[in-house]
Amino acid sequence: MAQLLRRLDDEIHIEYNTFGLDGTDLPAWSSPTEEILHFLAAVRMESWDAEPERADASWTPVSSATFVAESGVVSIDSMADGRRHDFLIGPPHFEYGVDMYLREPEPGDGHGTGECEESWLLRFWPIRDVFDPIKHAAPFSYIARGVLYYSIDLEPEQLVQPSARREVPVPVSAVADWASLRTDPDLDTFDGWLHRMRRKAEERGGSLYELLRAAGADIEDGMDLTPASCTPPLARAGRFKDPLIDRYYAEQARWGSLPGRHLGEEQLREYADGERIAKELCRSGTLTFSVPVEGRGALHIPPGVSRRVWRWEDDLLGGELMDGGLTVDRQILARNPWTRQILVSGIVTILRRDHERPSRGESVWYVVRDAEPHEAARVLCAEATWEEDPDQRRALDEVAREKLIELRATYRSRER
């Protein structure tokens, strides 16, 4: 039986009855209620570990679709609101199914403001691993001095193709391999906390609602269990209309963890979403650490993506690890005897930006964890697929040189 992994309630302003699902290859969507163009919609997104049964009778099915996720994180995107809350549906480069439902708004939908004209339910589930290094891990554009900011755009099919017989086969993972597609009742998230509260209520022989009321929550039996409804009124910050941001602000304020500088609502949303998804990408007891990521593509790496990173570490006595991390396919590439440091490479999975370490130029700090075997297999496969030998490099040079000649001829004709 399919199991609900996590859910998120949101509200979004819709203009011209059109919205997108960022992080997917789906075209723009629209509500079936064609007579209204501009409205406020309550959106509930759910992630399941397999195709779920049809929603209860209060929901009317609208449409179904399949898509490939870019990173495993999606968000509703509209012209009026831009991107809303990020939501983790599972691993990157999986094919997913999604069902859309519609109903009249009810208490507990969205943010529960009472202003919504429609309520949507989006249910996501994984179908299969479709990772392909040629499609999903192609190298950056060919670098050529003085053209298009030093790069020539080449399509993957224009690059030197790997032989049909690959030394490293494309890995195919199963749903059960991924932390993001397995429930973890001890995870430090709202859903994990809810699992623990249910377990505690069962041990005491009472109901979850009784336990929540005893803890100070103003909640009645049968009410929707959301971060806002389960939080005692005195613990709520009450500064923001968005309950997810409000809860994050309250938690940080309670522990004295808010940064000294003033953060706007957009930054708080980014922080709240990032920390929630980072926890959902880990298993209980997972070691996390920070690494600098430098060079092209470093500024915007989605959570859940695995890649190789490099960093200088102190050359500790006995070969101890600096922080216990960077252990997967660990390679010592260089030693600096003067500073007693080593340049180390390893494969990690990106969790979120490290807000404590500001970015400088093309160097960005991320909170990461060591990649799990199925994640590292993708990186190693991509490296083996695109590894260049001298013959391949000469062939690629020729392809890029032809493109460069065409571009220069185009520029000269425009100058005339």
- pLDDT for 266 equals 74
Whole-angstrom CA distances from 4 to 45, 49, 363 are 11, 7, 38
Predicted pLDDT at 67: 94
- Domain spans of the chain? 4-130, 134-160+388-415, 175-180+283-386, 185-280
Q: Is residue 77's pLDDT more than 60?
A: yes
φ, ψ of residue 270 in degrees (nearest 5): -60, -45
Owner of token pair 């069902």: 99
Q: How many Å apart are CA 309 and CA 363, to the nearest integer?
A: 12
CA distance 45 to 196: 22
pLDDT for 163-179, tens place per residue?
555 667 889 999 999 99
CATH number listed for the domain at residues 4-130: 2.60.34.30
d(CA 91, CA 304): 7
Decide if pLDDT at 372 tops 80.
Answer: yes
Cβ 280 vs Cβ 252: under 8 Å: no
Residue 410 phi, psi (nearest 5):
-65, -45
CA distance 18 to 38: 9
Alpha-carbon distance of 245 to 251, in angstroms, equals 10
- Given this model, what pLDDT does residue 268 score? 78
- Between the two ends of the chain, the Cα-to-Cα distance in Å is 68
Q: Does position 34 have pLDDT exceeding 70, yes or no?
A: no
**pLDDT tens, 346-369?**
999 999 999 888 777 778 999 999
- The whole-number pLDDT of residue 254 equals 47
Between 88 and 249, the more confident residue is 88
Task: Name the token pair of 228.
Answer: 């806002």
pTM check: above 0.85: no
Top pLDDT among 38 and 53 is at: 53
